[in-house]
Amino acid sequence: MIYTTQMDAAKKGIITAQMLTVAQKETMDPENLRSLVAAGKVAIPANKNHKNLDSEGVGQGLSTKINVNLGVSKDCYDIDLELAKVRKAIELKTTAIMDLSCFGKTQEFRRKLIEMSPVMIGTVPMYDAVGMLDKDLKDITVDEFFSVVEKHAEDGVDFMTIHCGMNRATAERVKNNKRLTNIVSRGGSLLFAWMELNNQENPFYEYYDRLLDICEKFDVTLSLGDACRPGSLNDSTDPAQIEELITLGELTKRAWARNVQVMIEGPGHMSLNEIAANVLLEKKLCHGAPFYVLGPIVTDIAPGYDHITSAIGGAIAASNGADFLCFVTPAEHLRLPNLDDMKEGIIAARIAAHAADIAKGIPGARKWDNEMSAARADVDFTRMISLAIDPEKARRYREESQPECEDTCTMCGKMCPMKNMKKILNGEDLSIV
């Protein structure tokens, strides 16, 4: 039977090769997964032209996925460095990579990225439109915007962030409800500026069916961007954010009617006590579509440590039902991340995702923790290091501070409770002096 997209296949009762891959990874019944894809509650971003993709699913009942942002900019134009980041991100077990390139030979980098990457690839075509077309923002035409989207789809991009929900009505909400940090979404701010400069509607909202034509043709998952995500605690859950979310829910149903898979993007900066409610709002207003969050960053005061503020918010969001976490690095708000920043961000996001998976009862999530605990009870440092989420760092810390006795560490030494309890329970003598 012929099908156009993963969602189209699922609706027709077809279990695709991609669904089988995801079902095996998630230890889920393939038929159950197919039904979730058909209902839009799981997305499997898998562009027909991404030939070496090792498919992943995002959504209800699946493990929490993480995304890494990278790409070249005018101030830091080093393709080799960005490709090194790609290799490191894959080594560190990211689930997805978003290419946010906005300057220079963007297509050359994007094609290399897709060719070498088995993980799903996302982009924000709005960035590339400004960088690639080399025109003033005001002068970019509607046809040019869509030509960039189609080029990304042809190249094999699996999901695209497009800010379709910020129409002129939502833009008025922004202007009439003063924010502390205005619009902090880069793509959203560019679209807002284009709309104001040209006195026109958002082209991706006005010509949404044209966008769906492209997504359906290549099976691109539409990641509906949150142009009005809060950039400060002060601006969270305000009228502009909620109005845009309502619009995204309407656009989700239109996409599903065309068999186009959808993810919904979410905040942003937000205090701890608002996170669960925001996840609930997204799931209600957007009909259970997978939720992709940046952070949320739970305090505004920690530049240099926003991988931590983000991991705190991400763990809470995912444990309450968010499905996909976008990593945040220590360089957030300060500069383009380097390799070390990227590693810190990935590990923090993976910890948040894993902690949430335990809370959600994802099959197999707790098994890893139990194995680590058993290694600790056995005072088996070799095994502990091999099980660590970052074995390289765990090994370095162990080697930097050697204890008198090899089966202890320099924190407790001979008073190690694990070692001593093991001896006492085995009926052995205990010598601490």
Question: Do 6 and 34 meet the contact criterion of CB atoms below 8 Å apart?
Answer: no
Do the annotations mark residue 292 as ligand-binding?
yes
Look-up: residue for tokens 């039904």?
35
Cα–Cα–Cα angle for 270, 268, 229, nearest 5°?
110
CA distance 31 to 198: 49
Do the annotations mark residue 228 as ligand-binding?
yes
Q: Between the CA atoms of 146, 149, 153 and 156, what dihedral angle is there, to the nearest 10 degrees?
A: 160
Do the annotations mark residue 269 as ligand-binding?
yes
Strand partners, 71: none
Own/partner pairs for 152-155, CB < 8 Å, 24+ apart?
A: 152/110, 152/123, 152/125, 152/128, 153/47, 153/49, 153/214, 153/215, 153/217, 153/218, 153/220, 154/49, 154/218, 155/49, 155/107, 155/110, 155/111, 155/114
CA distance 209 to 221: 14
Query: How far is C-alpha 307 from the chain's CA centre?
Result: 13
Do the annotations mark residue 69 as ligand-binding?
yes
Q: In 3-state terms, what secondary structure has residue 225?
A: coil
Do the annotations mark residue 227 as ligand-binding?
yes
DSSP-H helix ranges across 182-271? 186-198, 203-206, 208-218, 239-257
Bridge-based pairing of strands 324-326 and 65-70 is parallel
The one-letter amino acid code at 61 reads G
Do the annotations mark residue 401 as ligand-binding?
no
Q: In 3-state terms, what secondary structure has residue 120?
A: strand
Spatial neighbors of 421 by CB under 8 A, at least 6 apart, are none
Look-up: residue for tokens 């999530």?
365
CA distance 90 to 117: 8
Write out the DSSP string of 312-326.
HHHHHHHHTT--EEE
Do the annotations mark residue 76 as ligand-binding?
no
Do the annotations mark residue 305 as ligand-binding?
no
Do the annotations mark residue 185 as ligand-binding?
yes
CA distance 429 to 28: 49
Do the annotations mark residue 265 as ligand-binding?
yes
Do the annotations mark residue 8 as ligand-binding?
no
Do the annotations mark residue 383 as ligand-binding?
no
Do the annotations mark residue 102 as ligand-binding?
no
Residues 303, 305, 306, 309, CA torsion sign? negative
Do the annotations mark residue 98 as ligand-binding?
yes
| Among 163, 128, 161, 160, residue whose Cα is nearest residue 144 | 128
The one-letter amino acid code at 314 reads G
Do the annotations mark residue 226 as ligand-binding?
yes
Q: In 3-state terms, what secondary structure has residue 307?
A: helix
Do the annotations mark residue 426 as ligand-binding?
no
Residues belonging to the binding site are: 69, 98, 127, 163, 185-187, 226-229, 265, 269, 292, 333, 409, 412, 416
Annotated binding site for Zn(2+): 269, 333
Q: Which residues are annotated as a binding site for [4Fe-4S] cluster?
A: 409, 412, 416
Q: Which residues are annotated as a binding site for substrate?
A: 69, 98, 127, 163, 185-187, 226-229, 265, 292
